Amino acid sequence: MGKLFGTSGVRRRVSELPPEFVIALARALATYTPDEKIVIGRDTRKSGPLLESAFISGLISSGKNVIDICLVPTPTVGVATAEHGTGVMVTASHNPPEYNGFKFWNTSGAYNPEQENAVEKIFFSKKFKKGKRCGVVEKRNYVEKHINLILKKIGTVNDVRVLVDCAGGAGSVITPKLLEKMGCDVIAINTNQDGNFPHELEPTAENLAETCKLVKKKKVDIAFAHDGDADRTAAIGKDGKLIEWDSFLSVLAYDLDRVVTTVDASMRIEDVCNEVIRTKVGDVFVAEGIRKNNADFGGEPSGAYIFPDIHIFPDGIATVAKTVSMVADGFFYERLEEIKSYPMERVKIPCGEDEKGIIMDNLKKIIKEDYDDTDGIRISTDEGWILIRPSGTEPYVRITAEGVDRNALDELVGEGREWIGKARK
């Protein structure tokens, strides 16, 4: 059996998504879910309409009715799915334009690995249920509902000048409109919806260099940049510098009682809130952690943030609104200045797929210190922490470490390299 799902749904080059594959995937989902109505939306990629049409064909031929919400961000699919039970987002998030994919949803958020495995098993078995009749397609607009859901929780603001870079992605249909309704002075750039991306979609300092220059030129109070499907958001300070991911996460978590984040997030978050619960890497695991622990907030240092008072899945649009509200209240920069940055290093050690399991098993025998094996091996000390974890997508074992100072960091990384070296023998 081949591997169908990756770390965030099915994601491939468009050339690897022929109609027969897409229709079979749709029929597998239709066989798995008991829900009669299935929501579907797509981002701005040029391949989106054709892939969406093929997926809809598979659903209606299986007897499912389809709620087509057209061009929307991923979190808008989440909002619609909460009403109907099952959803599909056609997106490849921050991947280049030659990629696309499918992310499945239920009322709890994105499918977890167990649910994906169940769909995958049906896909490869080809044991699809046949519909007694052909389903119907209904087009609905959920953008306004998504906006109103956020406004109801956050409200309006005064005198905040905001720049938002929609990156030619799906955020263009909602974020500028939300900010205007909040009462902001809005500068929206790269709002085209034709699938031509003005810069690479991963919201990094390098990819946002021109946007950062514009922030200073336009003298805005805060700026944001979405990825392709707007489930993630980067923040750019009024000084025109991209705010560090872990610092942004910590500002959003500031002064909260219980927060959920991943094993690879900075220890700076422990400085600003009462209790931190760490999960496996992935927003699905963060969402599960929030529900299980009744947490106030959760997020990853990749820019995926979850606000349970709104809903329990990553929402880049809600992130913009929450942050603007903090800026308006005068809290954002004040808290940002208080957050301490510690030296951190991420190292990739080349490693074949067949070697990953052996190395991780051997590490558990070699390492004498107490460790957390939630996701990889994580060791915390008074001087910092180190995480050793096999990559889920590349032929590497990764070392992530953070120290109270550079010497502590170097010692942790050196020790990690030494452990991996011994584990290979």
Residues 203 and 94: beta-carbon distance below 8 Å: yes
Q: Kindly report, residue by residue over 256-279, the tens digit of the pLDDT.
A: 999 999 999 999 999 999 999 999
DSSP 152-186: HHH---SS-EEEEE-TTSGGGGTHHHHHHHHT-EE
Residue percentage of the chain with pLDDT more than 90: 93
Structural domains of the chain ordered from first start:
10-141 (3.40.120.10), 144-338 (3.40.120.10), 344-423 (3.30.310.50)
Query: Is pLDDT at 232 greater than 70 in this prediction?
Result: yes
Q: CA-CA distances (angstroms) from residue 196 to 12, 71, 192, 342?
A: 19, 15, 8, 38
Q: How far apart are CA 155 and CA 153, in angstroms?
A: 6
Backbone angles phi, psi at 157, to 5 degrees: -135, 170
| Average pLDDT along the chain | 95
Query: Is pLDDT at 295 greater than 70 in this prediction?
Result: yes
Query: Is pLDDT at 294 greater than 90 in this prediction?
Result: yes
- pLDDT band at 131, cuts 50/70/90? confident
Residue of 342, 273, 269 whose CA lies nearest to 301: 269
Of 3-12, 104-113, 179-188, 394-403, the least confident: 3-12
Give the amino acid at 135. G
CA neighbours within 13 Å on the CB side: how many for 397? 26
Residues 282 and 7: beta-carbon distance below 8 Å: yes
Q: What is the mean pLDDT of residues 182-187?
A: 98
25-44 CB burial, b ≥16 within 10 A, e <16: bbbbbbbbbebebbbbbbbb
* Residue 338 confidence (pLDDT): 95
Give the amino acid at 134. C
* Residue 368 confidence (pLDDT): 87
Give, in degrees to the nearest 5, the angle at Cα 94 between 44 and 89: 55
Q: What is the mean pLDDT of residues 57-72?
A: 97
Q: What is the mean pLDDT of residues 55-64?
A: 97
Task: Read off the DSSP letter of residue 272.
Answer: T
Residues 222 and 235: beta-carbon distance below 8 Å: yes
Q: What is the mean pLDDT of residues 297-309?
A: 96
- pLDDT band at 2, cuts 50/70/90? low
How far is CA 168 from its chain centroid? 18
Query: Is pLDDT at 155 greater than 80 in this prediction?
Result: yes
* Residue 6 confidence (pLDDT): 82
Q: How far apart are CA 277 and CA 249, in angstroms?
A: 14
Residue of 205, 142, 140, 194 whose CA lies nearest to 168: 194
Question: What's the Rg (C-alpha) of the chain?
Answer: 22
Query: Is 93 marked active-site?
Result: yes
- pLDDT band at 1, cuts 50/70/90? very low
Q: How far apart are CA 329 and CA 324, in angstroms?
A: 9
258-262 and 275-279 as β-strands: parallel, antiparallel, unpaired? parallel
Q: Catalytic residue among 93, 247, 250, 325, which?
A: 93
* Residue 242 confidence (pLDDT): 97
Q: What is the mean pLDDT of residues 324-353?
A: 95
* Residue 7 confidence (pLDDT): 74
Q: What is the mean pLDDT of residues 51-74?
A: 98
Q: What is the mean pLDDT of residues 16-31?
A: 98
Q: Kindly report, residue by residue over 371-396, the tens digit of the pLDDT.
A: 999 999 999 999 999 999 998 767 89
Backbone angles phi, psi at 167, to 5 degrees: 60, 25
